């Protein structure tokens, strides 16, 4: 638990429940996001993730469906009683995001975009600030303070791995950052094992490590067909394997005195 809690659409981050957020890296089609929403909801997650505006390393890579992506995300989430989390790239997107996005994600590459941080602070929208892969915990905390300084208290931090000399994983999950960041600001901290791992094979271990370090939430990429994903396919957990992953996280959470929402009966298999 953290000393501050952030509540949206009936989900509370920082309380006794460990909140699972999951979905594809990018929204690609109506069918893809609806399939994801069904399995994600049935597994016990509370948030559907999906990027509509993608910040890709290369400009020739898939950049997302844009506004249509957000509409589909909202529709799929509503159909399954989920809240939404998605990256907001710029100040101009904030007004439109209000209707479609319950938790505005600031991406790693934008962590020190001060005009965006200030604008999100003024908006009073709940914000999830991802740590830059090239920044210290201290710099991350100061970035969060830009949002808080505008009077927005609904801030959640997300550790998603930092760049080190190691190349076996895409980034290196900084496990210690979880308790340290929680202590520094008292804000809820979410762990993203997917971008840290870079390969689906290592996502489970990092998920469980995150839970054991006291994460208040998990942000996990899952896709109906990872091999065909338009973005971050290698790190996506197949939807068919996702319920089992949440189940393991639930068991570690219980050992930590936390709960994870129970799965519903439909959790067994993804929709066709
Ligand atoms: C994402 O969540 O898909 C993403 C782009 O993450 P990050 O900003 O941490 O790279
Ligand atoms: Mn991604």
pLDDT in tens, 7-58: 999 999 999 999 999 999 999 999 999 999 999 999 999 999 999 999 888 9
Characterise 242 by phi-psi region: left (phi > 0), alpha (psi -120 to 50), beta (else). Answer: alpha
- Best mutation site among 195, 196, 221 for ligand 1 pocket (most ligand atoms within 8 Å of CB): 195
- Best mutation site among 21, 24, 26, 51 for ligand 1 pocket (most ligand atoms within 8 Å of CB): 51
* Inter-residue contact 141 to 184 (CB < 8 Å): yes
- Best mutation site among 27, 65, 160 for ligand 1 pocket (most ligand atoms within 8 Å of CB): 160
- Ligand 1 centroid–CA 265 distance in Å is 31
- Ligand 1 centroid–CA 59 distance in Å is 16
Overall average pLDDT of the 225-250 stretch: 98
DSSP tally for the chain: helices H, then strands E? 9, 11
262 exposure class (CB count in 10 Å sphere: 0-12, 13-18, 19+)? exposed
Residue 271 has pLDDT above 90, yes or no: no
Give ligand 1 pocket residues (Cβ under 6 A). 25, 51, 55, 107-109, 130, 160, 195
Which residue's CA is minimally distant from atom 10 of ligand 1?
108
| pTM of the model as a whole | 0.96
Residue 269 has pLDDT above 70, yes or no: no
Instruction: State the pLDDT confidence band at 2, using cuts at 50, 70 and 90.
Output: confident
Q: What are phi and psi of 86, to 5 degrees?
A: -155, 150
Nearest ligand (C-alpha, residue 108): 1
Characterise 214 by phi-psi region: left (phi > 0), alpha (psi -120 to 50), beta (else). Answer: left
Buried b / exposed e over 124-139, threshold 16 CB at 10 Å, is: ebbbbbbbbbebebee
Residues contacting residue 3 through CB under 8 Å, at least 6 positions apart: 14, 186
Token digits of residue 153: 């208290």
Over the stretch 132-159, which tens digit does the pLDDT of each residue have?
999 999 999 999 999 999 999 999 999 9
- Ligand 1 centroid–CA 219 distance in Å is 10
Residue 270, pLDDT score? 52
Closest to 252 measured CA to CA, from 209, 216, 193, 195: 209
Over the stretch 213-228, which tens digit does the pLDDT of each residue have?
999 999 999 999 999 9
- Ligand 2 centroid–CA 171 distance in Å is 12
CA distance 190 to 203: 15
Token digits of residue 13: 């981050």
């Amino acid at each position: 638990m953290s000393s501050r809690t952030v509540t949206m659409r009936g989900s509370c981050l920082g309380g006794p429940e460990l909140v699972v957020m999951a979905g594809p890296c990018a929204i690609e089609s109506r069918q893809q996001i609806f399939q994801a929403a069904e399995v994600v909801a049935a597994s016990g997650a509370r948030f559907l993730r999906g990027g509509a505006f993608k910040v890709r390393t290369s400009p020739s890579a898939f950049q997302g469906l844009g506004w249509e992506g957000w509409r589909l995300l909202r529709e799929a989430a509503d159909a399954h009683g989920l809240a939404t989390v998605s990256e907001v790239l710029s100040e101009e997107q904030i007004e439109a995001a209000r209707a479609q996005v319950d938790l505005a994600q600031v991406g790693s590459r934008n962590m020190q975009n001060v005009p965006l941080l200030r604008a999100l602070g003024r908006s009073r929208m709940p914000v999830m600030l991802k740590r830059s892969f090239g920044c210290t915990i201290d710099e991350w905390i100061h970035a969060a303070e830009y949002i808080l300084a505008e009077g927005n208290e609904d801030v959640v931090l997300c550790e998603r791995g930092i760049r080190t000399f190691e190349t076996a994983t895409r980034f290196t999950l900084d496990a210690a950052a979880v308790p340290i960041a929680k202590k520094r600001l008292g804000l809820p901290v979410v762990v993203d094992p997917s971008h840290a791992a870079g390969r689906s094979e290592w996502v489970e271990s990092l998920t469980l490590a995150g839970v054991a370090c006291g994460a208040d939430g998990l942000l996990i990429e899952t896709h109906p067909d990872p091999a065909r994903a338009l973005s971050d396919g290698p790190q996506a957990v197949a939807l068919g394997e996702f319920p089992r992953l949440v189940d393991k996280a639930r068991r570690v959470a219980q050992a930590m005195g936390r709960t994870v929402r129970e799965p519903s009966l439909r959790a067994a298999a993804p929709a066709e």
